[in-house]
Amino acid sequence: MSITAGSAVFLGQGPTVTGQILARNLGDPDSRDLKGTCQVTGDGASSTFNCNYVDGTVSIGFTPSAILCQRSGGAATSSIAVVSCVPTDGTKFAVVTSANVNAATFILSFVAYK
């Protein structure tokens, strides 16, 4: 028996017909979601680090309600994974990994929700 296909549920408005192009209203909270990547270089002794939205000083104007993130590359040991990402304030979010990140790059992709 195979798994029955699921259907997507979108935040805000989603497509309803083939080829539909959606334009978000700037007042829509979803238009304030931030999607990006963050790259750090490990020190071989730490499994926690922060990712700044801008530079660690400049605020994005709100503290995200949630962060989704996942490792998406880098030269660090491939078995090291993201355990959690937590928004701390409007300048950064905290990341915890499954092991100390060796002295190599670690890249994660994230979506920060308003």
CATH number at 44 reads 2.60.40
- Is residue 12 over pLDDT 70? no
Query: Does residue 92 form part of some domain?
Result: yes
User: Cβ contacts of residue 112 below 8 Å, gap of 6+?
Assistant: 33, 34, 35, 36, 53, 60, 64, 66, 67, 87, 93
Query: Does residue 42 form part of some domain?
Result: yes
SS3 29: helix
Amino acid at 7: S
63 lies in which domain range? Answer: 29-113
Query: Does residue 9 form part of some domain?
Result: no
State the total domains in the chain: 1
Query: Does residue 20 form part of some domain?
Result: no
- Is residue 11 over pLDDT 60? no
Task: Convert the pLDDT of each residue in 15-55 to its tens digit.
Answer: 566 666 666 666 666 666 788 888 888 888 889 888 888 87
Whole-structure pTM value = 0.76
Residue 35 pLDDT = 82
Query: Does residue 23 form part of some domain?
Result: no
- CA-to-CA distance for 23 and 31, rounded, in angstroms? 10
Query: Does residue 1 form part of some domain?
Result: no
Query: Does residue 15 form part of some domain?
Result: no
Query: Does residue 24 form part of some domain?
Result: no
Residue 19 pLDDT = 61
